Amino acid sequence: MSNLYIDIGGTYLRSELDGKLKRVLTKDHNLVEYIEKLLLKYDIKDISISFAGQVDDGVIISSPNIRVSKKEIKKYFEKKYGICLYIDNDLNCALLAESKVSSSNNIALLYVGTGLGSSVLDNGRIIRGKGNITCEIGHVPFKKAPFLCGCGKDNCLELFASGSGLEKWLHFKGFKTMSLTEIKAKKEFNEIYENFCEALLRAAATITTLFDPKELILGGGIIESNTFLVDLVKDNIDKYVLKSSLKGLIIKKSEIKDASLKGARELRIKN
Ligand SMILES: [Zn+2]
């Protein structure tokens, strides 16, 4: 009997079964059908999912970039197949993986990837709120954009400091998708780049001011391929943050590869 681990983000669906890793494009799959195909082929005992969207108590609340045909995903698989299914938000999963290797009980995780997300460990406990949708830093208002965010608003930080936000700005201005490095190098995209940095600093400073973490860990695809952003935050956060929360604060890059997928393992152990 095997355990299936899945990390599904806005761009990739990664799965691990019997130590073998597989990566496919999220847009090509419906999560429920993807799992059902694996269940037909393999003898799976339980499933742990790190999910890039809002999820509470085994129920998908919102997933703008992921197709899931059964919202009550935990109930559906457990009833139909008699297996256990654990699922949590991907940032919470990544935080579980970070907390395993950190000596601190107060950690704020800020991810810049397809979206802009955060998760906070406060005295050893993940802050969850009443519906497991806390720390949605990407949807804090910043400034008005000429298009909408996945949440329906037009002024979210995520519209400026995320992969999907950058893509929307480029398409709006009539350009094809390009990386942050390419955007940074071109003078004509100066405003997009400046807004990106400003929104990133505001996000980092807001979670630090609100939650007073010992460690602020930066991760996600855009941070991974632009590690200078960690120094940008270190060097400039003082202009945005409540000064006293800087005392003893360590700002660093995540050193864990596939943290969300590793965190999915922890869901099984914790439950
Ligand atoms: Zn939003």
Q: What is the mean pLDDT of the chain?
A: 95
What pLDDT sits at residue 11? 87
Contact at 8 Å (CB) between 173 and 191?
no
Neighbours of ion ligand 1 (CB under 5 A): 139, 149, 151, 153, 156
pLDDT at residue 65, rounded to an integer: 81
Find the mean pLDDT for residues 58-78.
94
Q: Is the dihedral of CA 231, 232, 237, 238 positive or negative?
A: positive
Q: What is the pTM of this model?
A: 0.93
In this predicted model, what pLDDT tens digit does every residue of 131-144 receive, in sequence order? Answer: 999 999 999 999 99
Round to whole Å and give the CA distance between 69 and 33: 8
Classify each residue of 230-248 as buried b or exposed e, where b means 16 or more C-beta atoms within 10 Å of its C-beta: bebbbebbeebbeeebbee
Using the mean position of ligand 1's atoms as its centre, give its distance from the Cα of residue 13 in Å. Answer: 22
Cα–Cα distance, 25 to 13 (Å, whole number): 6
34-73 b/e with 16+ CB inside 10 Å = b? bbbebeeeeebebbbbbbbbbbbebbbeebebbebebeeb
Whole-number Cα distances in Å, 197 to 110, 144, 170: 14, 16, 16
Q: Mind listing the pLDDT tens digit for each residue in 100-159?
A: 999 999 999 999 998 999 999 999 999 999 999 999 999 999 999 999 998 999 999 999
Question: How far away, in angstroms, is 156 Cα from ligand 1 center?
Answer: 5
Cα distance from N-terminal residue to C-terminal residue, the chain: 19
Give the span between the Cα atoms of 25 and 39, in whole angstroms: 20
Expressed in angstroms and rounded, the spacing between residue 1 Cα and the centre of ligand 1 is 41
How far is the CA of 241 from the CAs of 43, 165, 210, 238, in angstroms?
Answer: 51, 23, 9, 5
97 in Cβ contact with 14 (< 8 Å):
no
Q: Does residue 269 carry a pLDDT above 90?
A: no
CA–CA distance, 92 with 264 (Å, rounded to integer): 9
User: How far does residue 254's CA lie from ligand 1's centre (Å)?
Assistant: 24
Distance from the CA of 149 to the center of ligand 1, in angstroms?
5
Ligand 1 center to residue 268 CA distance, Å? 30
Spatial separation of the C-alpha atoms in residues 51 and 31, rounded to whole Å: 10
Q: What is the mean pLDDT of residues 77-92?
A: 97
Alpha carbon of 154 to ligand 1 centroid (Å): 7
The Å distance, Cα 137 to ligand 1 centre, comes to 9
Q: Which domains does the chain have, with CATH numbers?
A: 2-89 (3.30.420.40), 93-253 (3.30.420.40)
Find the mean pLDDT for residues 75-81: 97
How much is the pLDDT for 266?
Answer: 93
How far does residue 152's CA lie from ligand 1's centre (Å)? 6
- Note the pLDDT tens digit of each residue in 170-198: 999 999 999 999 999 999 999 999 999 99
Q: What is the pLDDT of residue 268?
A: 82
Ligand 1 centroid–CA 25 distance in Å is 23
Give me ligand 1 centre to Cα 231, in Å.
26
In this prediction, what percent of the chain has a pLDDT beyond 90?
94
Sign of CA dihedral 237, 180, 255, 100: positive
- Specify the pairing of strand 215-219 against strand 107-112: parallel
